[in-house]
Amino acid sequence: MASDADPSKWNCPAHTKAKHEMLRRYLDGWYPILSKWNGRILFLDGFAGRGRYNDGSEGSPLIALRRLVEHRFFPQMAHREFLFYFVEANRDNAAALQHEINQLKVELAPWPATVKAHVLNEKFDVTANAIISRLREQKQTLAPTFAFVDPFGYSGMPLELLAGLLDYPRSEVFVNFMVGHVMRFIERDGQEAAMRGLFGMDVRDVLDGWDGRRDRVEHLRSVYGRQLQTRAGFDHVQSFAMINATGNVGYYLFHGTRHRVGVQRMKAAMWAVDPGGGFTFSDRLAGEDVLFALEPDLSPLRQELLRYYAGQKRIAVEDIEWYTLLHTPYRETHVRPVLRQLESDGCIVVNRPPGKRQFADGVTISFP
Ligand X SMILES: C[S@@+](CC[C@H](N)C(=O)[O-])C[C@H]1O[C@@H](n2cnc3c(N)ncnc32)[C@H](O)[C@@H]1O
Residues at the site binding ligand X, with contacts judged by CB under 6 A: 4, 47-49, 59-60, 87-90, 93, 123-124, 150-152, 156
- For residue 142, the 8-state DSSP code is P
Round to whole Å and give the CA distance between 211 and 87. 39
Least distance to ligand X, CB of residue 153, Å = 8
Identity of the residue, 88 or 172, whose beta carbon is nearer to ligand X in the bound complex: 88
Identity of the residue, 9 or 231, whose beta carbon is nearer to ligand X in the bound complex: 9
Identity of the residue, 151 or 225, whose beta carbon is nearer to ligand X in the bound complex: 151
Tell me if 260 sits within 8 A of 282, measured CB to CB: no
Q: Under 8 Å CB-to-CB from 249, ≥6 apart: which residues?
A: 179, 180, 217, 241, 242, 243
**Across the chain, where does the E strand assignment appear?**
40-45, 81-87, 115-120, 145-149, 172-177, 236-243, 249-257, 280-282, 315-316, 349-351, 364-366
Tell me if 156 sits within 8 A of 123, measured CB to CB: yes
Least distance to ligand X, CB of residue 2, Å = 11
Tell me if 151 sits within 8 A of 157, measured CB to CB: yes
Least distance to ligand X, CB of residue 94, Å = 8
Least distance to ligand X, CB of residue 183, Å = 18
Identity of the residue, 89 or 237, whose beta carbon is nearer to ligand X in the bound complex: 89
Name the 3-class secondary structure at 299: helix
Least distance to ligand X, CB of residue 344, Å = 46
Identity of the residue, 152 or 323, whose beta carbon is nearer to ligand X in the bound complex: 152
Identity of the residue, 52 or 219, whose beta carbon is nearer to ligand X in the bound complex: 52
Least distance to ligand X, CB of residue 145, Å = 16
Residue closest to 116 by CA, chosen among 69, 51, 168, 165: 69
Round to whole Å and give the CA distance between 117 and 113. 10
Least distance to ligand X, CB of residue 223, Å = 22
Q: Which residue of the chain is nearest ligand X when measured via CB?
A: 59
Degrees, nearest 5: CA angle 113-31-70: 60
Identity of the residue, 93 or 282, whose beta carbon is nearer to ligand X in the bound complex: 93
